[in-house]
Chain A
Amino acid sequence: DVKVTQSSRYLVKRTGEKVFLECVQDMDHENMFWYRQDPGLGLRLIYFSYDVKMKEKGDIPEGYSVSREKKERFSLILESASTNQTSMYLCASNPEGETQYFGPGTRLLVL
């Protein structure tokens, strides 16, 4: 079974804090993705990566950065958290040309 794990299910941070969200997949997938999901707005792509040390901006990269130092790990970084970054964050991975598998999600609240 494909397994995608995320470091936290729930996270509470204060405005201005630096926040790290970790995602790990155990199936040697090339592609990894970070989305955020908000009511009424659906899934929106923040960043994605096709390979180690490679990253591409998605539709809403502002306020975020990413790191992929190892193939199995893709980190999302909020450099200075703001209240409008309160959301559900979903990590996904897939092998080339196949469907995406999602992690359980991290619900982030920024106060």
Chain B
Amino acid sequence: QKEVEQNSGPLSVPEGAIASLNCTYSDRGSQSFFWYRQYSGKSPELIMSIYSNGDKEDGRFTAQLNKASQYVSLLIRDSQPSDSATYLCAVPYGQNFVFGPGTRLSVLP
């Protein structure tokens, strides 16, 4: 059984701080990883993908991958109230995706 785990939260950070979201996965052979953001009542939208060990930056978002430790994280710099959402980690497994339960982030003004 392939598993993807995340802390459910809520994670609360003040506006302007760095939010750090973590995800661990069970399949050591996984090669690609995706972060989705889901606002309440809306569908998930892709915000980051990462395939190689190390960091990948896109604006205020940085994805970090450590395959040896089987974790992937998402950092959000200068957090804004509009970043308040649930963040889902997803790992492909064959033709399917395994999604983590999501971490609810609340950015406090």
A contact residues vs B (CB 8 Å cutoff): 31, 33, 40-43, 45, 48, 50, 58, 90, 97, 99-105, 107
Q: How far is the CA of A99 from the CA of B100 in the complex (A)?
A: 15
For B, the interface residue count at a CB cutoff of 8 angstroms equals 18
Residue of B nearest to A106 (CB): B43
Q: How far is the CA of A103 from the CA of B44 in the complex (A)?
A: 9
* Cross-chain pairs A/B with CB under 8 angstroms, 22 sampled: A31-B95, A40-B101, A41-B101, A42-B88, A42-B99, A42-B101, A42-B102, A43-B44, A48-B95, A58-B96, A97-B92, A99-B46, A99-B49, A99-B90, A100-B46, A101-B46, A102-B43, A102-B44, A102-B45, A103-B43, A104-B42, A105-B43
Q: How far is the CA of A59 from the CA of B43 in the complex (A)?
A: 20
Q: How far is the CA of A31 from the CA of B102 in the complex (A)?
A: 23
Q: Does B34 lie at the interface of the complex (its beta carbon under 8 Å from any beta carbon of A)?
A: yes
Residue of B nearest to A103 (CB): B43
